[in-house]
Structure 1
Amino acid sequence: MQAKVVIVGSLNMDLVTRAPRLPRAGETLAGQSFVTVPGGKGANQAVAAARLGASVAMIGCVGDDAYGEQLRSALLTEGIDCQAVTTIAGESTGVALIVVDDNSQNAIVIVAGGNGHVSASVVDGFDVLLQQAEVIICQLEVPESTVGHVLKRGHELGKTVILNPAPATGPLPEQWYGWVDYLIPNESEATALTGLPVDSPASAESAAKTLLASGVGKVVVTLGEQGALFASQERVEHFPAPRVKPVDTTAAGDTFVGGFAAALADGKSEAEAIRFGQIAAALSVTRSGAQPSIPTFAEVQGYQP
């Protein structure tokens, strides 16, 4: 079975605590609960794409510890091709320390661990997976040089290349834009990339037009409960969000990206893929955790507003 969607990215174990609110600097809060949950933007997007109908392969690195084995096992359980999930001797697996408050907002600290070893040479060792792909997805939780290498290679191969610029801290390297078919930032990421405030569909359109002028193919700005803004050189369209009661927003963006990619790989139109990703993301925020919150294809198909 060839992989229609290949994700090059991070695998983290999420260490999640719930608290009444996010702590201030120097403050100690009493937490309400603690769980360990498989996560990492790359792995989350791989699980989302797999549950939502795609054949998926993951390229990434874990440490030689218990967390690494658990993360690999979680992907294998989803039917994801893990031949390119490489174990790095003497290194810890990446972790994300997550606090979720009573308003379902979160604050996250990431320690790269094995993710810092996802090099161009590691990716090149599994180039056959990129060749087999229809859609290639990258994020920014592995080294920047590796991301650029994958974007360029995907473009050379004529694949549909998606970049989820998360976490973004500033503008991307200029040469990247021409290699990206779909750039999918959220509000804060769009702000970081462009320097423009993004908090509404109108401001997202301004940011998207700036990104299009940089050479990117198309832009989808995810806006949480305000929906998503699609922009290309030809058109701009706002997609309202499905209405749900949020419990935990962790991995909502990853679920959207995975669902969007899975739908594109299945031959759906851009509008269909965006709506499919939105429903998947909306269902995910009604549940706690990263990968455990991601819905299945059947759940999305059965969604009733």
Structure 2
Amino acid sequence: MTEIIVVGACNIDQIVYTPRLPDAGETVLGTDYQIGFGGKGANQCVAASKLGANVALISKVGDDDNGKRYIQNLKRCGVDTSNVLITDASCTGVAPITVANDGSNNIVVFSGANMLLSREDIDSAAGIMKSAKILLCQLEIDKFTTLHSLKAAKNAGVTTLLNIAPAIEDLSDEFFINSDIICLNETEASALTGIEVVDATTAVSAANQLLSKGTSNCIITLGKDGSVAAQENGEVYIVHGDKVDAKDTTGAGDAFIGAFAYFFCKLGSSNYMEAMKRANTVAGISVTKKGTQSSYPMRTDLPEALFEGIVN
């Protein structure tokens, strides 16, 4: 039975490693190059699947070599690909990424086939929604398809989580009303609220402002400083980050969300903060390796204590 359903993007990552990120108009020589698998939707799927979740992805790739390779990668990672569709109307999405020595990055995404995922495609996959515990969405595909997905899951009694990434400043309140949980990073929270999010205190202020738009729970990730959450019942959770030697932060937010969804399903909604803590640990481990999905740990690579209280 599928526990987690993800509606989102598949992108081929083209990663260049450099001593530092270039300034505008500047050329910087790279020190290494990798091609990998990315896209927020697929990343979150793979992060959860590697922990042992039953996960299905609803997505669209191009009828090209990248699309075929991507579907094979998802299958290797244990993801249900029966609703990863193929189109000849556009290429598979790509994401050129620059990563500096300190682990920071900048990313440009060309969405390609991802933007062709339609509301009709979501309706065709409605059958798998009924068994799911949580639906994950982001904003790398057509936003109306995302909203349609959230509404469909909500109507099926499925918990909905929206990762507001990339940030859209004029995002309709409908997205918040149809999301039981929203998750975003400090940069995205700053853009949406006008509050400069630099620490846990300012993150809580931003989270409370976002709650007023109609969601029940707001999580803001703070990179190395951990994460915070605010809930409509007034509860606030602050999870401190683990000190790690970061090599590449690409996809760390997706590692957090995929892991959070896994622990949320396994531990139950009453263990919300515990799910955040464990997801924070998984995301912290992911940044100690280069790459995106390739950096996400398998359950067998993690301490058994992280899975205390979980029965598969």
* TM-score, structure 1 as length reference: 0.96
Tell me what 2:242 maps to. Answer: 242
CA contact (8 A) 1:279 1:300 kept: no
Query: In the alignment, is residue 287 of structure 1 matched against residue 286 of structure 2?
Result: no
What's the CA shift for 1:17? 0.4
Q: 1:201-216 maps to which residues of 2 (within 5 A)?
A: 201-216=200-215
Distance 2:177 2:231 in 1: 13
TM-superposed CA distance for 1:273, in Å, is 0.8
Alpha-carbon offset, residue 117 of structure 1: 0.7
CA deviations 1:141-166 (Å, max 9, x no partner) are: 00010111111111111111011111
Match of 1:72 in 2: 71
1:82-131 CA distance string (max 9 Å, x none): 01000011421000000001111001000001101111111111111212
Question: What letter matches 1:285 in structure 2?
Answer: V
Separation of aligned partners in 2, 1:75 and 1:218: 30
Distance (whole Å) between structure 2 residues aligned to residue 252 and residue 203 of structure 1: 21
In the alignment, the residues of structure 1 paired with residue 54 and residue 294 of structure 2 have an alpha-carbon distance, to the nearest angstrom, of: 19
The amino acid that maps onto 2:200 is P
Kindly indicate whether the alpha-carbon contact (under 8 Å) linking 1:16 and 1:34 is maintained by their aligned counterparts in 2.
Answer: yes
Percent identical among aligned pairs is 37
Q: Could you tell me how far 1:302 is from its partner in structure 2?
A: 4.3
CA deviations 1:34-79 (Å, max 9, x no partner) are 1100111000000001011210000000001111111111110011
| Conservation of the 8 A alpha-carbon contact between 2:10 and 2:70 | yes
Tell me, yes or no, if the aligned pair for 2:237 and 2:273 is still in contact at 8 Å.
no
Q: Please give the secondary structure, in 1, of the residue aligned with 2:267.
A: coil
Q: Does residue 185 of structure 1 match 2:198? A: no
What is the CA-CA distance between 1:299 and the residue it aligns to?
A: 2.8
Aligned pairs for 1:77-156 within 5 A: 77-156=76-155
> How far off its partner does 1:271 sit?
1.4
Q: Which stretch shifts more, 235-244 or 283-292?
A: 235-244
**In structure 2, the residue corresponding to 1:221 is in which secondary structure?**
strand
Residue in 2 that maps onto 1:276: 278
Q: CA deviation at 1:221?
A: 0.6
Q: Shift of the alpha carbon at 1:303?
A: 7.3
Aligned residues of 1:276 and 1:300 also touching (Cα < 8 A):
no
The residue number in structure 2 matching 1:39 is 38
Mean alpha-carbon deviation: is it higher for 150-159 or for 286-295?
150-159
Number of aligned residues: 303
**Tell me, what secondary structure is at the counterpart of 1:110?**
coil
- Write the letter of the residue equivalent to 1:120: R
The residue aligned with 1:16 is 15
SS at match of 1:266: helix
Equivalents in 2 of 1:117, 1:130: separation in Å?
20
Correspondence 1:227 to 2:226: yes
Structure 1: runs of 5 or more not aligned? none
> Is 2:18–2:101's contact at 8 Å kept on the other side of the alignment?
yes
**TM-score (norm: length of structure 2):** 0.94
In 1, the alpha carbon distance for the partners of 2:170 and 2:263 equals 28
1:264 corresponds in structure 2 to 264
Contact 2:89 2:113 in 1 (8 A): no
Q: Is the 8 A contact 2:4 2:132 kept in 1?
A: yes
Once structures 1 and 2 are overlaid, which stretch shifts more, 292-301 or 38-47?
A: 292-301
| Residue range with higher mean Cα deviation, 291-300 or 181-190 | 291-300
Return the letter of the residue paired with 1:242: D
Retained in 1: the 8 A contact 2:161–2:182? yes
**Matched residue SS, 2:237:** strand
Query: How many angstroms apart in 2 are the aligned matches of 1:270 and 1:296?
Result: 22
| Residue correspondence of structure 1 range 142-181 to structure 2 within 5 A | 142-181=141-180
**Deviation of 1:176 (Å):** 1.7
C-alpha RMSD of the superposition: 1.3
